Chain A
Amino acid sequence: MKDVHVGEAPIQLKGVTKRFGRHTAVSSLDLEVPKGIITGLLGPNGSGKTTTLRMIMGILLPDEGEIRLLGGLPGVRQNGRVGYLPEERGVYRKMKVIDLLVFLGEIRGLARKDALEKAAHWLNRLQLEGWANKRTQDLSKGMQQKVQFIGTVLHDPSVLILDEPFSGLDPINQEVLENIVREFHDRGTTVLFSTHLMDHAERLCERVCLISNARKVLDSDLRELKRRERKGLVAVEYHGDDRWLRGPEVKEIRAFGEGVHLLLSDGADHQAILRRGVEAGVRIDRFELVEPRLHEIFVRHAGSPEDGDRPGERWAGRREVMAS
């Protein structure tokens, strides 16, 4: 990578805006994806993740702002060193698996022979060697997805851009894929992936960027973020009336184990709640600051994920109690 200076972020966005008609999909987004780091682009469906990734790949042009990919403008020339797995990833149904992989390698600039060798290697690696000469339509959805992933990494990219890479996979295959992503990371590959599943982000990311409603709401190192956010979540166990829990400090109340989790508003003081409880004469067995999960951090900063214009159905199930 001659043209990428040490320390320069392989992916840089500055004030990027994209509109479709009257709808703004991405609004003045700044983002730097550091080299050799796994970064998660998080947000509910419809928040602008896919549009952002498409712009990074040069498939869409931003209306405003500037994007640099590996030190150059996005476009097919840069993309030879990028592995891109789009959210909408189909296969040619009538093609043989091996032919499809060689074709994908070739359009990314590999010689036919190299592509064939690498495809065979990866098929072995993912235990698909017996399927090389089957048509892709004979594969299960999970296997198709593995094949697509092979197509993405066949040309040894130095940057991986994965749009919802885990959706549609069973837990075992999710783990297989996660491990390969980690492996690429260990070899120094820069990874940017989008997901609306916070658990994956929590396991995999070193850095997260939260977007909601086309806007960036958080962009930080994950560990640092969690340390900073520790004040934001309180585990409470109590007996009695629950009115003392409601107040301007509390953004959301969720059932959790024996008691509840209180998600605090930004900068709110938990002492005020405790005081209210004592005054109300409620018996409080537990009142403890706990380390928040990514989901709670997201809710704290972006409001309910439901605020996205196309709320994801997966989000709905995670919310058990809502503050009224």
Chain B
Amino acid sequence: MNGLKPIIRREYLQRVRSKWFLVGTFVAPVFFVGLMVVPWLYASSKEKAVKTVALVDETGILYELVAPRLEEAGFSVRQAAPGTEDVLRVQALEGDLGGYVVLGSDALSRGRVVFVGPEGPGLIGSMTIRSAVAQSALEVRLGDSASREDLEALLAGGMMEVSLLQEGGGGTKEDEPQFIGVFAGTMLLYMVILLYAVAVMRATLEEKTGRIVEILVSSVRPGTLMLGKVLGVGSVGLTQLAVWVAFGIVMLTLGLPALVAARPEMADPAFIAGALPGPGLAALFIALFLGGYFLYAAVYAAVGAMCSTEEEAQQAQFPVVMLLVVPVIFLMPIMENPNSTTAVVASFVPFFTPILMYARAGTGLIPLWQVLASLSLLYGAVLVVAWVAGRIYRVGILMQGKRPTLPELWRWVREA
């Protein structure tokens, strides 16, 4: 393949050196983390004053249960006798106390408490206080029949272990899958495939509208040119993903422990660990990204080649975007019921495979052969689609003017 290497290198370097790449790669993750951290920092700075609370326990039993829970969450707590509210009020106004909480009989029956202070306890503060009281009340009412761990497990919503029946021996799944992690992974997959496939279309269009393409195809075969575009943009995509993953690892290994140390109620390391994909799922992510990217990039290259203006391309790409959007729409029902006939069939359609197979595999409830078979189908489809797209590309890049109709496209494919 003469000329493939310079084409890939040009595409890669031009993109990696551009301002937008730097912004998207390095600034965007910082921005997103900032989006999560800044409100929290803001909230926690406001909460400082409310950190010290007095508990006025009218029930006589709740204080011992509520106080340790609050202390665990970072409050300093002291007990105040009922009837001393006037003193507490003065202390609170003078700033020695963030406020006081009255645990009345309502607290025991319905978890209802009154907070009195110069400022409210803040969003997280009130959540913490509320749940500490409610948990304590439950503990009292259940009596000795429940240990604290059991109680917490119940309050967390329980858990489920899933055991799959397979012929010739059972395979089991240890933990319930983390829905959030899989969902986020699926959306990321959708985003990056679309992002880079569209970049291929743009690059093709740039060469066409910039009248560069004729110089190129007089020196390299159109197929080489298209392959170079796809590989060049794809390498940029992988680079960007790698930077993001590295950033995520740094955040998890350095940022998260710091966060847990500072505010244990803010982050549950076990939850986050569960939300991260295991090595198998991570490998599947890469395989699906590459397959999906190649598939869509080829289609988008053809779309770019048959259009002459940006506006035209925006219209022409609509059906292609739909191919990516449809599986996202059906994501929820399919994750809920990953082995329904619809889910199985849909995830075997190569254009849907990247999104749906990741979601289904993420549930941990589907047989391995389905994953492998759908991957083979996907990569097979890449070859077929790239061949067809390559023929459209070859004719299209030298055409100017009206966009071809479907019958004309078919003629291009036949005659190219």
Contacts and interface: CB of A to CB of B under 8 A. Distances in A.
Interface in A72-113: 76, 79-80, 82, 84, 86, 88-95, 99, 103-104, 106-109
Contacts of A91: 210, 212
B218 A59 contact: yes
A84 B14 contact: no
Interface residues of A, number: 28
Given A103-B6, A107-B6, A107-B7, A89 B14 contact: no
B220 interface: yes
A54 B216 CA distance: 13
Interface string A18-42: 0000000000000000000000000
A151 interface: yes
B14 A59 contact: no
B220 A76 contact: yes
Contact of A84 (B10, B18, B206, B215): B215
Given A76-B2, A94-B14, A94-B18, A107 B219 contact: yes
A57 interface: yes
Contacts of A60: 398
A103 B10 contact: yes
Contacts of B221: 76
Which secondary structure characterizes the binding site on chain A? loop
A220 B214 CA distance: 30
Contacts of A82: 218
A223 B14 CA distance: 50
A193 to B, nearest CB: 15
A104 B215 contact: yes
B211 interface: yes
Contacts of A151: 215
A59 B217 contact: yes
B211 A90 contact: yes
Contact of B220 (A84, A93, A107): A107
B3 A107 contact: yes
B19 to A, nearest CB: 10
A169 to B, nearest CB: 16
A92 B2 contact: no
A92 B215 contact: no
Interface string B199-235: 0000000100011101111111100000000000000
Nearest to B217: A59
A261 B368 CA distance: 88
Contacts of A88: 211, 214
A256 B52 CA distance: 106
Among B7, B211, B214, B217, the one with the most A-chain Cβ atoms within 10 Å of its Cβ is B214
A93 B7 CA distance: 16
A159 to B, nearest CB: 12
Contacts of A57: 218
A89 B3 contact: no
B223 to A, nearest CB: 11
B402 to A, nearest CB: 12
B218 A84 contact: yes
B108 to A, nearest CB: 70
B219 A89 contact: no
A88 B3 CA distance: 21
A92 B5 CA distance: 18
B396 to A, nearest CB: 13
Contacts of B217: 59
Nearest to B400: A88
A86 B14 contact: no
Among A76, A84, A104, the one with the most B-chain Cβ atoms within 10 Å of its Cβ is A76
Interface string B169-207: 000000000000000000000000000000000000010
Contacts of B14: 92, 94-95
A90 B212 contact: yes
A60 B221 CA distance: 12
Among A80, A92, A94, A107, the one with the most B-chain Cβ atoms within 10 Å of its Cβ is A107
Nearest to A90: B211
A72 to B, nearest CB: 15
A189 to B, nearest CB: 17
Contacts of A90: 210-212, 215
A57 B212 CA distance: 15
Contacts of B7: 107
B18 A92 contact: no
B395 to A, nearest CB: 10
Interface string A280-294: 000000000000000
Contacts of A93: 210
Among B206, B210, B219, B220, the one with the most A-chain Cβ atoms within 10 Å of its Cβ is B219
A91 B14 CA distance: 14
Contact of A86 (B3, B206, B215, B220): B215
Contacts of B3: 76, 106-109
A99 B10 CA distance: 9
B218 A89 contact: no
A71 to B, nearest CB: 18
Contacts of B210: 90-93
Contact of B6 (A54, A58, A92, A106): A106
The 9 closest A-B pairs by CB, nearest first: A90-B211, A106-B6, A90-B210, A107-B3, A86-B214, A88-B211, A90-B212, A107-B219, A84-B218
20 contacts: A54-B214, A58-B218, A76-B2, A76-B218, A76-B220, A76-B221, A79-B218, A80-B2, A86-B214, A88-B211, A89-B212, A89-B214, A90-B210, A91-B210, A94-B14, A104-B219, A107-B6, A107-B216, A108-B3, A148-B215
Interface of B: 2-3, 5-7, 10, 14, 18, 206, 210-212, 214-221, 398
